[in-house]
Amino acid sequence: MGMTITEKILAAHAGLDKVEPGELIEVSVDFSLANDITAPIAIERFREAGAEKLYDVARIALVPDHFVPNKDIESAAQCQLLREFAVEHELPHYFEVGRMGIEHALLPEQGLVLPGDVVVGADSHTCTYGGLGAFATGVGSTDLAAVMITGRTWFRVPASIKFIFEGNLRPWVTGKDLILYTIGQIGVDGARYRAMEFTGPVIDQLSMDQRLTMANMAIEAGAKNGIIAPDECTRTFVEERAQRSYQFYQSDADAQYEQVITYNVSEIEPQVALPPSPANSQPVSSLDEIPIDQVVIGSCTNGRIEDLRLAAQLLKSRKVAPRVRCLIIPATQAIYRQAMDEGLFTIFLEAEAAISTPTCGPCLGGYMGILAAGERAVATTNRNFVGRMGHPESEVYLASPAVAAASAVLGRIASPEDLD
């Protein structure tokens, strides 16, 4: 009996010929990471354990990205702790403001996480790297501390669910719409502790930016990891970036899946997830006119260059609606520069949008776009729980950059087709 791509990666890192769902295994870790919220706890646990050395300084990244540039004294102290620890241990992959980016966009861009890797991070959206064909998942800060010391961790091998996407994408439908639709179909616990394997002819045609977006939100369905088998698109992306060797894995034809779910994307239109859950996904055309106060285009889900290009396409020669704030947040410094070089910033500024340095900021209600009571935002972020972006009486609607940009212009939740 064959294995899925997830099982193959875990077996290889456990030194085993074969693994099966439910089996407890110990694996070697190729790369680990933490940010300014989670790293301080991991550092504290590292020191409490009496550890003096990291297992491999080249395999650990510390990325202050949630509350940076420091928004207050407390966040400054958190970042100071990371900085001092990085200096103490001579970490080559500490990313200071001016060089940093949102971690889950930055690390693939830097070639630090690669196909075939086992990657763990003290952040739930570590599953993003599954878009490269890696096994990547979030862990707690204490678990990360143990990885920092030993370079190893343990998992229960997850069962896999295969999602096959067939048909032809409708206009303005992106990877964000596909994953919102999927979560809407199966629910926030529909893939609980499962590997979500995305495949099919539609996935084969998606760009790397969109693949990373889909894998990023696997956690919103409760998944242990999301994964897309690597191909020539993957190779093109990693060849010029990879800082070490990597390996492509594929699922066997006779691999066993807990479920196989097939979607015809021809039936899927741009989606909007209504608060307070990513599972409340509905076609944008089904929504009544819902006025909004803010639009956020950015985050580890949709702050990449293709996302900014899509937003600029719709904002060009248009203005953000009066009384609406539109925030553009490039996910990394390189994306920031590329958007600037391509003239996207001119489009955003002429549309009267505000452009931010890379930061997670408003996604988690950190800063750079906190909502007041009664305010509504359309965001390209990944979560819309109660109080996620500010006041508990505010609301967040999740959507693609296309829907977000159209909504910014019309001052209400809108489809790009409404601008025609």
Token reading at 73: 């004294």
- pLDDT tens-place string over residues 157-192: 999 999 999 999 999 999 999 999 999 999 999 999
* Stretch 12-20: mean pLDDT: 98
CB neighbour list of residue 22: distance below 8 Å, 6 or more residues apart:
156, 157, 159
Helix ranges, 89-207 (H) = 103-109, 141-150, 175-186, 201-205
Residue listed under structure tokens 């004294």: 73
DSSP assignment letter at 304: S
* Stretch 58-78: mean pLDDT: 96
- pLDDT tens-place string over residues 296-328: 999 999 999 999 999 999 999 999 999 999 999
* Stretch 264-275: mean pLDDT: 98
In the chain, the N- to C-terminal Cα span, in Å, equals 53
* Stretch 268-286: mean pLDDT: 98
CB atoms within 10 A of CB 204: 14
Look at residue 420 in the predicted model and tell me its pLDDT.
75
Look at residue 1 in the predicted model and tell me its pLDDT.
84
226: helix, coil or strand? strand
- pLDDT tens-place string over residues 353-402: 999 999 999 999 999 999 999 999 999 999 999 999 999 999 999 999 99
277: pLDDT strictly greater than 80? yes
| Cβ proximity of 405 and 296 under 8 Å | no
Name the CATH superfamily, with its identifier, for domain 5-262: Aconitase, domain 3 (3.30.499.10)
DSSP assignment letter at 365: T
| Cβ proximity of 39 and 9 under 8 Å | no
| Mean pLDDT for all residues in the chain | 98
**For the chain, percent of residues with pLDDT exceeding 90:** 99
| Cβ proximity of 75 and 81 under 8 Å | no
Pairing of strands 60-63, 259-264: unpaired
Give dist(CA 83, CA 298) in Å, integer.
25
CATH 3.30.499.10 positions along the chain are 5-262, 273-419
Q: Which amino acid is at 120?
A: V
CATH 3.10.20.600 fits 273-419, yes or no: no
Closest among 298, 269, 274 to 285, alpha carbons compared: 269
